[in-house]
């Protein structure tokens, strides 16, 4: 199953609904190109991963790369609606301590207006559960 992306804007935050697999190859390249283009326009992004069935090491690398690119541009990428499989993967790789993750779209969007951008606090995980 390939990766499908659809985008929408809520309160000035661009939300990308991802569906399929984020794996090394065309899928990861598609995500990288789409998000990097968007970062030039809007650096406040949420990736909704509710319908992502699988992420491999190439997909994880892409997420980390995009996160770093967003931060370097003065922005942020937050993750929304992790599946159990994706959440477990982020736990195992300790990346759950890097990404801010949310189970509620409104809380993810609102986090942009309340988040501090301190150098230490930005790397701390804030796992939000509804």
pTM for this entry? 0.86
Expressed as residue numbers, the domain containing 90 is 4-128
Pick 122 or 94 by higher pLDDT.
94
Burial class (CB in 10 A: 0-12, 13-18, 19+), 80: buried
Number of compact structural domains in the chain? 1
Burial class (CB in 10 A: 0-12, 13-18, 19+), 121: exposed
How do residues 31-77 score in pLDDT, each as one tens digit?
A: 999 999 999 999 999 999 999 999 999 999 999 999 999 999 999 99
**Are the C-beta atoms of residues 3 and 27 closer than 8 Å to each other?**
yes
Q: What is the CATH number of the domain that holds 57?
A: 3.30.750.24
């Amino acid at each position: 199953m390939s990766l499908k992306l659809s985008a929408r804007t809520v309160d000035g935050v661009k939300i990308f609904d991802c569906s399929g697999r984020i794996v090394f190859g065309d899928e990861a390249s598609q995500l990288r190109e789409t998000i990097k283009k968007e970062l030039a326009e809007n650096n406040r992004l949420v990736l909704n991963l509710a319908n992502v069935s699988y992420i491999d090491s190439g997909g994880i690398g892409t997420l980390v790369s995009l996160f770093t690119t967003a931060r370097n541009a003065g922005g942020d990428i937050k993750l929304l609606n992790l599946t159990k499989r994706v959440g477990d993967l982020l736990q195992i790789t300790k990346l759950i301590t890097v990404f801010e993750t949310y189970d509620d779209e409104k809380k993810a969007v609102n986090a942009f207006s309340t988040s501090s951008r301190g150098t230490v606090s930005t790397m701390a995980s804030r796992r939000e559960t509804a």
